[in-house]
Amino acid sequence: MEKTPLLVVDDDAAIRKLFERIAQRAGFEVDSAKDGVEALEMMQRKPYDIAIVDLMMPRLNGYELLQKIREIEDPPVLIVASAATDGQEHEFDDTLVRRIIKKPFDIDAVTKILVETATQIASTRAVPAKPIPVALTDVKITVAEPEIKDKDPSAEIEGNHVPRDGERASRPQS
């Protein structure tokens, strides 16, 4: 079974390693970056389904990274790790940011969030997003005239016209 690719982005080496271990034990394929610049470079080389992003980092902070990720063709689902207060949560784009992990965090809660997020991603991929086009080539359709049995003798009489499908009936003029 293929593992879900996950990127951990945090400048604190101890926190980064802890997130890596939690994700690996939960069955993810894990890479890590020490800041937003390194994370962007990695995302350009490899697609990730999920990224855990710290907000307070040097060079390119988490807020700036979120803006740059928006420009990626197939962006990962983001989980923000922060000591952010409830007032800051409304600032995040909810089309990108799926969950927020508040520091200090509970290891079991992080594992649950990762597994739930991966399950949600997998379920959206299980249903095809677009219809599959089917090419029809060299198809020839022939429509034959139906054979009329037991002809109505009145149809043969001059002046009477029996309309065929699609024709309008006309009245004989007197």
pTM for the model: 0.65
The more confident residue out of 118 and 87 is: 118
What percentage of the chain reaches a pLDDT higher than 90?
Answer: 32
pLDDT confidence tier of residue 103, bands split at 50, 70 and 90: confident
Give the tokens for residue 67.
């803006």
- CATH, range 5-126: 3.40.50.2300
pLDDT in tens, 21-42: 999 999 999 999 999 999 999 9
Residue 46 CB contacts under 8 Å (≥ 6 apart), including other chains: 5, 31
Cis amide leading into 128 (omega within 30)? no
pLDDT in tens, 52-88: 998 888 888 888 888 888 888 788 888 888 776 555 5
Mean pLDDT estimate for the chain: 76
Domain range summary for the chain, segments of one domain joined by +: 5-126
Whole-angstrom distance between the N-terminal and C-terminal Cα of the chain?
Answer: 84
CA distance 128 to 113: 25
What percentage of the chain reaches a pLDDT higher than 70?
Answer: 64
